[in-house]
Amino acid sequence: MLHLLTLFLSIMYCRALDLSLSDNKWKTYLNADNMNNGRRGQLLLSNAQSASECASACIEELGEDPTNGCTSYTFYHDDYHVSRLGGKCYGDTDGVWAPTYSSLEMPGVYGGVTSGQNDPLNYVTTCSSIDDCSANGLCSAETNTCECYPQWMGKYCGQLNFIPTNKESGLQSEDKNGRVSSWGGSVLRGEDGKYHMFAAEMSHNTGIVVWMSNSRIRHAESDDGEVFVASDITSPVWGHEPTAARAPTGEYVVFFTANFQSIPCSGSECMNGDDGNSVIDEENCLPDTQCNSYPDLLTYMIYSKDPAGPWSTPELIPTGDFGSSDTNLAPIILDDGSLIGLGRPPFIWRAKVWNDTSTYVVEEVESTVLGEDPFLYIDPHDKSILHGLSHAGGWDSRGAHSWSLDGGKTWKVHEDIASYGSLIEYTDGTTGVLTRRERPHLVLGKDGELLALTNGATLDPCTHPEYCEKDYCFTALQKLNQDPRY
C-alpha cells in the first residue's frame, strides 16, 4: 500500500516537474563531464539553473531524436571550479559518451557538473562490419545498422545496458567489528548452481588506502549471483587482485598478486580499522602512497576442485618482459587446457598447459585494453571472439571495452564510448554515484551469457587517498539487461 502510494506520488511529481524528462529515457550522471571542460559540443545556454533545464534546451535546440538530435548534454553548476563555465549548458549530436568523473568530496576543485544521455537504448549505429558494433551485436545486412545484444546499448553497442539492482548486491560484508571492505571480485558459476566470488578484502575492518598491507583473498558465495555472503579465506594477507578461471577438468584456478614472505608497505598489517575505514598512523597504517617498502608484486596461481579449498601450493607465474610490478593478470582456460590472459596493457599471457608454468609465455602486443584492471571473456555468441573490459584509468569511474577477432593478436576499442560510468541504479528507485569503480569482472551464466558487472567501488564522496578520511570500499554488483526488447 505504502509502495503504491509512493509510486503514484513520484509519477505525479515527475509529470509536474518536467514533461520532457518524465519518460525516464534520460540517463543522468552526477559529476560527469562529457564535454571536456567545454571543449566539445555546442554552447546552448550561458545561464542555466539546472540540469533538467539544460536537458530541455538540448532537445529544443538539437532535436529529440536520440541518434541525430541531442545525444547528450553537460551542465556546469554555478560552483564549478572553472568559474567561466558556471551556468553553461552544452549539448551535442555526435553520440560521444566518454565523460570524466571526479570527486564529490571537494566541490571547490572537482564536482559541480552533471551530464545526461538522451535515450542511449534507442541510439542507432550505422555499420559495415561487426567492428562498428564492438562485436557486442550484429551488423544487420538488411538495414546496415547494429543490432545490439540485450546487455549492450548506445553508439557502437559500446555501453553496458544495466538494470536496477538490489542495494545489497555484490559483496558488502560485516563482521562483529563492523563493515569489511573489499575491492572487486571475480565470479565463477559452479556445478552446484551457486556463484563463487574471489574478492580482494581488507583485514581488520580497514579500507582501500592500506591495501598494500591488509589485502587478502576472500571466497564468498551466492545462490542468485547477486547478493554474496563471505565464506572462507582463500589466501591470507598478503594477496590482492584475484581473477579466477575454471579448468576443463573442473578446477577452480585463482590468479592473484601475492607476497608470502613479508607484508608490503610497512611490514605489518594495519590493525586500526573503523567500520571499514582505515585510521592512518605513521608506523603501521600507511596509505599506499607513503609506504616504506614497495617489494616486487608477483603473480601466483593456486587451484582446487572445491572453491572452498584446500588449495594447491602457490606457483609463481612467469612475467617475462613485463617485469616485477603487479600484472593485473586476468586469464581464461580453454577447452584444450591452454590459457590466454590479459595483463596490464599491452601484455598478453599464453600457456599451452594451464597447470604447467614452464609453458607460460608473455607477449607484448601493440595494444589491448585501455587503462588497467583488464577482464577477459569469450563471446557467448561466437566463441572465436575475445572481449576485454577494463578500468579506463586514474581516479575515474569509467570503464572501457575492447575486443579481438584474431585470438588476441590485435585489439580494437572505440575510445569515444565508455562501457560504464559512475551511475548505479537500485530496485528501490534510488541511485548511487560510485566515485571509484575499478576492477571490472563480469558474472557469466551457464552458457557464458553476461549477467552482471562487479567492481571495486567507493560510494563515499572521496577518491584520492591523500584526501580520504573515509576509505570504505566494497564490491559493487549491477545487473545487466537480458530482455531482447530493451
Ligand X SMILES: *[C@@H]1O[C@H](CO)[C@@H](O)[C@H](O)[C@H]1NC(C)=O
Minimum distance of ligand X from residue 309's CB (angstroms): 16
**Which lies closer to ligand X via its Cβ, residue 20 or residue 355?**
355
Residues in the interface with ligand X (CB under 6 A) total 3
Q: Considering only residues 353 through 412, tell me which ones interact with ligand X, judged by CB under 6 A.
A: 355-356
Any idea which residue has 580520504 for its cell?
468
Residue nearest to ligand X (CB): 355
Going through 263-325 in order, the beta strands assigned E by DSSP cover 273-274, 277-278, 298-304, 315-316
C-alpha cell at 83: 568559474
| Residue 19 vs 316, nearer CB to ligand X | 316
Give the nearer residue to ligand X in terms of CB position, either 339 or 452.
339
C-alpha cell, 35: 564535454
Binding marks (x or -) toward ligand X, 300..339, rule CB under 6 A? ----------------------------------------
430 burial type by CB count under 10 A (0-12 exposed, 13-18 middle, 19+ buried): exposed
Buried b (16+ CB within 10 A) or exposed e, 100-115: bbbbbbebeebbbbbb
- AA identity, residue 109: V
Name the minimum Å distance from CB 249 to ligand X: 4
Torsion sign (Cα): 222, 200, 278, 371:
negative
In the complex with ligand X, the residue whose CB is nearer, 360 or 420, is 360
Which cell numbers in the block locate residue 344? 596490464
Least CB distance to ligand X at residue 338 (A): 12
- Cell numbers placing 38: 567545454
> Nearest approach, Cβ of 353 to ligand X (angstroms)?
6
Near ligand X by CB under 6 A: residue from 140, 249, 292, 325: 249
Q: Which is nearer to ligand X, 145 or 355 (CB)?
A: 355
Of residues 355 and 482, the one with the C-beta less far from ligand X? 355
Nearer to ligand X, 116 or 341 (CB): 341
Q: Which three cell numbers stand for residue 447?
A: 552458457
As measured in angstroms, the least distance from the Cβ of 321 to ligand X is 24
Q: Around Cβ 13, how many Cβ atoms within 10 Å? A: 10
Q: Is the peptide bond before 346 cis (omega within 30 degrees of 0)?
A: yes
Nearest approach in angstroms of CB 197 to ligand X is 23
Under the criterion CB under 6 A, does residue 262 sit at the interface with ligand X? no
Separation of CA 151 from chain center: 15
Question: Per this entry, what is the length of the chain?
Answer: 486
Nearest distance from C-beta of residue 358 to ligand X, angstroms: 8
Name the residues that contact ligand X, by CB under 6 A. 249, 355-356
